Structures are given as structure tokens and as C-alpha cells.
Amino acid sequence: MLSSSNIKEKTQEFLKPVAENVGSLGISPNAVTLTGFILSAVAGVFFGLGNIINGTLFLALSGACDVFDGILARTTRKTSKFGAFLDSFLDRYADFFPLAGLLYYGHATGNELLLLGSLFSISGAFATSYARARAESLGVECKVGIFERPERVVLLLLGLILGYPAETTVLLALFSNFTAVQRLLCASERLR
């Protein structure tokens, strides 16, 4: 939803001058993608250790990289099929690391709601992205759904900032799995 809204276009326009400056320094979009991946892993480690504040900070930085790498690629005209593949590939890990850290923290503290919410958030995130990729490999487009990656990151950040990690992962699990089912129904309709 955020991906197909005016918010995406306005963000790109706002960050275009920054991307031009970063591009003039010789920083590649793939380097930004890789940085976001590393930051998400660091966020996961902090979450696993129970350091929610630092984990949230690194998750926010990782999300910023995820927004910025595509803008940098388009602004510097360095888009490539490999860059698009690398971004999607590493996004799956960037989805996994923070939630795995929260899952571990939920286990370590006996917080079953956090553990289960994180577990089902991981499955929902993966099912959502897989459904789209598999449908596209079969020749149909299924970008439908209320909760893509940007929405998942924003919800997780807001919930962590407000101090409700367990409840947020439960909402995240519900919305992401609902989106996966929306894509299943879309593929079912278009592939028959």
C-alpha cells in the first residue's frame, strides 16, 4: 500500500537531491542495500539481547537504507536486474533478523506472546513475498495486499517505540498472513 501510494513518490522526490550527492561520492546502490542488510542483523542481535532501544534504532536505519537504495539507483541511473534481485533477496534476511531476535528474546524471557507473534510474523512475511514472486514466475502479477514490507517495518517500529513489542508482533502476524492469503486468492483467480 505504501509502495503504491503518493507517499512513495513524495519520499523519492524529497530524497532525490540527497541521492545525487551520495551518488557523486561513488557509493553504489548495492552498497546501500548491503548496509541495510547488515544493520538489520545488528538490530536482531540487540533484540535478542533484550536491548529494544538499540534494536529499534538499527531497525530504523536498516529501513532507511531499504528506502534509499532504490532512489539512489534510479537517480544515478545505476538500476540493474542484479541490483533488483539482490535487494529482494537481502530483504528476506532483513525481514528475518529483527523478528528472530524478538523471537529469541521472547523465548529467553518466557514471553510466549512475543515468541509466537514473532514466529508467525516471520512466516507471514515470507509467505507474502513468496506468493508474489511465485505468481510472477507463472506470468501473473499479484501485488495485492494490505501489508507489504514497508507497512511491516513501520508497524514494528511504531510498536517498539511505544513499548508494545509482543502486541505489535501479534498484529504484524495477523496482517502479514492476511496479506499472504490475499495474494493466494489473487493467484488462484488469475491462474485458473
Task: Give me the pLDDT at residue 9, please.
Answer: 75
Task: Give me the pLDDT at residue 36, please.
Answer: 96
Is 152 contained in some domain?
yes
Give me the percent of the chain exceeding a pLDDT of 90.
Answer: 73
d(CA 59, CA 95): 10
Is 71 contained in some domain?
yes
Per-residue pLDDT tens digits for 69-128 = 888 888 888 989 999 999 999 999 999 999 999 999 999 999 999 999 999 999 999 999
pLDDT reading at 31 higher than 80: yes
Nearest in space to 114 (alpha carbons), one of 62, 154, 156: 156
Domain count, the chain: 1
Per-residue pLDDT tens digits for 129-181 = 999 999 999 999 988 988 999 999 999 999 999 999 999 999 999 999 999 99
Angle CA 167–38–107, to nearest 5: 35
What is the biggest distance separating any 2 CA atoms in the chain, rounded to whole angstroms? Answer: 50
Is 92 contained in some domain?
yes
User: Range of 86's domain?
Assistant: 6-190
Residue 125 in grid coordinates: 512475511
Nearest in space to 171 (alpha carbons), one of 182, 184, 158, 181: 158
Per-residue pLDDT tens digits for 76-92 = 889 899 999 999 999 99
Is 1 contained in some domain?
no
Q: Of residues 66, 69, 91, 95, which has the active-site annotation?
A: 91
Active site annotation includes 87: no
Per-residue pLDDT tens digits for 48-66 = 999 999 999 999 999 999 9
